[in-house]
Amino acid sequence: MSYYSPDDNHLKRRSQRFVRRMFIMRQLGTILCFFPILSVLMEMQRDLAFSALLFVNAFLWPWLAYRRASAAEDSTTTERHNLTLDAAFGGIWVALMALSPLPSFIIMAVLASDRYAAGGPAQLIAAMQAFLCAFVMVWLVDGAGVNLTFSMQTVWLTLPLATSYMLVLSVASYNLTWQLRQRNRELERIALMDPGLEIPNRRLFERRLESEFLSTRRGDSAAYLLLMDLDYFKSVNDTWGHEAGDFLLAEISALLRNQVGLLDIPARFGGDELGVIVHHATDESIVLLAERLKEKIAQVRLPASAEFRCSVSIGIASAANAETMRHWLSHADEALYEVKRAGRNGVRLWQPSLAGAA
């Protein structure tokens, strides 16, 4: 089995997606911060140079940050540095507003939420350190003033930042979480599937075996287990090679997928042993299914040999006759052993009399 390892191009594309996502959030944040900060600066009668610097920070810095990260060898690390710089700029403007309460605390909340969403605790700590260092230096140089008043104009201009940005951040975080859940489900599915046969592996098989056993105990179904052993499979590998053996298993697995019901579960039980959990059946119908599968398997041919004939031994057990899931599995194994002892290429349904004979 080959294991997936992302190449440099894949990592670069992933980094670029992160940079683009941060650019959109940064541009939205700086625009929404621009108006309440400008309102406070004007009310404090700050020099127009500060308004010009605010304009550069709000409308030019996002593009400069995007270009800087995109051109970097390590785009993700550079973008994280940009996020830390964002926090430092935030500290500077909070200091220049002399801690005007409404916009200052909203900006701090936005910065903290956004940094944590983008990089977790490590990014949040780096951002808060940058924010505090920039704030303290500028605030002390500016005279350590405190401006506790703000106008209704500032209130109205701050509301979009307090509402719209948080809403967009929540949507973006949810989308990322949803994508992660989807990828985790796919990884779990891959981990529980036999990669060569495209049917469940033993791990998933045993999970479903337990589920079907409990369902039968509750009276919601009448599950049966078929254990199938390909007769003289080792001779196929020895005579025609392992590729022929793999081909044979793949052909029979495809046959099982096509022949069993939608609620039934075919799986690779181990080596050349396959299994099928049949969700609902009777003694008569399950034996008929097993016989049909045996006949279909007998029709499988190897490309390397037109004379080759495949046969299979099948042991069957009902969940209703078992006290535990392990007993159910053991019953099917006993029935399979009886077929082998009788000469192979047959079907046997476990009955309580088998246990007495043993």
Residues 19 and 149 in one domain: yes
Q: Outline where 224-280 has alpha helix (H).
A: 233-240, 242-259
Residues 100 and 61 in one domain: yes
Identify any residues that bridge with 328 across adjacent strands, giving them in sequence order. none
Residues 68 and 184 in one domain: yes
Report the domain count for the chain. 2
Residue type, 340: K
Grade residue 269 by pLDDT with cuts at 50, 70 and 90: confident
* pLDDT of residue 303 exceeding 70: yes
| Cβ contact 81:67 at 8 Å | no
Domain that holds residue 233: 199-349
The mean pLDDT of 293-306, rounded to a whole number, is: 85
The mean pLDDT of 106-118, rounded to a whole number, is: 88
Q: How far apart are CA 88 and CA 318, in angstroms?
A: 69
| Cβ contact 199:267 at 8 Å | yes
Taking all residues of the chain, what is their mean pLDDT, rounded to a whole number? 86
More confident residue, 174 or 186: 174
Residues 146 and 213 in one domain: no
Question: Is the entire prediction scored with pTM above 0.85?
Answer: no
The sign one gets for the Cα dihedral 333, 334, 337, 338 is negative
Identify any residues that bridge with 251 across adjacent strands, giving them in sequence order. none
Residues 73 and 168 in one domain: yes
Both tokens assigned to 276: 């099928």
Identify the weakest region by mean pLDDT among 147-161, 231-245, 318-332: 231-245
Both tokens assigned to 182: 């989807």
Q: How far apart are CA 165 and CA 61, in angstroms?
A: 18
Grade residue 194 by pLDDT with cuts at 50, 70 and 90: low
User: Regarding beta strands 224-230 and 265-270, do their DSSP bridges make them parallel or antiparallel, or are they unpaired?
Assistant: unpaired
Grade residue 54 by pLDDT with cuts at 50, 70 and 90: very high
C-alpha distances out from residue 296 to 211, 239, 333, Å: 28, 23, 22
Residues 44 and 156 in one domain: yes
* Domain presence at residue 2: no
Q: How far apart are CA 140 and CA 144, in angstroms?
A: 5
What lies within 8 Å, CB to CB, of 178 at 6+ separation is none
* Domain presence at residue 357: no
Within 13 A of 281's CA, how many CA atoms are on the CB side?
A: 26
Residue 80 class from Cβ within 10 Å (0-12 exposed, 13-18 middle, 19+ buried)? buried
Q: How far apart are CA 313 and CA 225, in angstroms?
A: 14
Both tokens assigned to 217: 């105990």
Single out the residue in 161, 189, 217 at which a domain terminates: 189
Grade residue 266 by pLDDT with cuts at 50, 70 and 90: confident
Residues 179 and 297 in one domain: no
Grade residue 166 by pLDDT with cuts at 50, 70 and 90: confident
- Which residue has tokens 């967009």? 168
Residues 19 and 52 in one domain: yes
Identify the weakest region by mean pLDDT among 25-39, 73-87, 240-254, 307-321: 240-254
Nearest to 94 by CA among 144, 48, 55, 52: 144
| Cβ contact 57:134 at 8 Å | no
Residues 338 and 207 in one domain: yes
Residues 122 and 263 in one domain: no
* Domain presence at residue 355: no
Identify any residues that bridge with 305 across adjacent strands, giving them in sequence order. 302
More confident residue, 252 or 137: 137
C-alpha distances out from residue 137 to 95, 125, 131, Å: 9, 18, 10
The pLDDT tens digits for 246-263 are 888 888 888 888 888 888
* Domain presence at residue 1: no
* Domain presence at residue 21: yes
> What pLDDT does 128 receive?
94
Single out the residue in 189, 207, 241 at which a domain terminates: 189
| Cβ contact 90:103 at 8 Å | no
| Cβ contact 57:89 at 8 Å | yes
Identify the weakest region by mean pLDDT among 53-57, 197-201, 214-218, 246-250: 197-201
* pLDDT of residue 77 exceeding 60: yes
Domain of 260, CATH number, reads 3.30.70.270
The pLDDT tens digits for 204-229 are 788 888 889 999 999 899 999 999 88
Cβ neighbours around 142 below 10 Å, total: 13
Residues 130 and 268 in one domain: no
| Cβ contact 131:91 at 8 Å | yes
Q: How far apart are CA 75 and CA 17, in angstroms?
A: 10
* Domain presence at residue 168: yes
* pLDDT of residue 188 exceeding 80: no
Residues 64 and 169 in one domain: yes
Nearest to 354 by CA among 311, 313, 318: 318
Give me the DSSP letters along 7-41: -HHHHHHHHHHHHHHHHHHHHHHHHHHHHHHHHHH
* Domain presence at residue 354: no
> What pLDDT does 1 receive?
32
Single out the residue in 157, 189, 221 at which a domain terminates: 189
Share of the chain above pLDDT 90, in %: 48
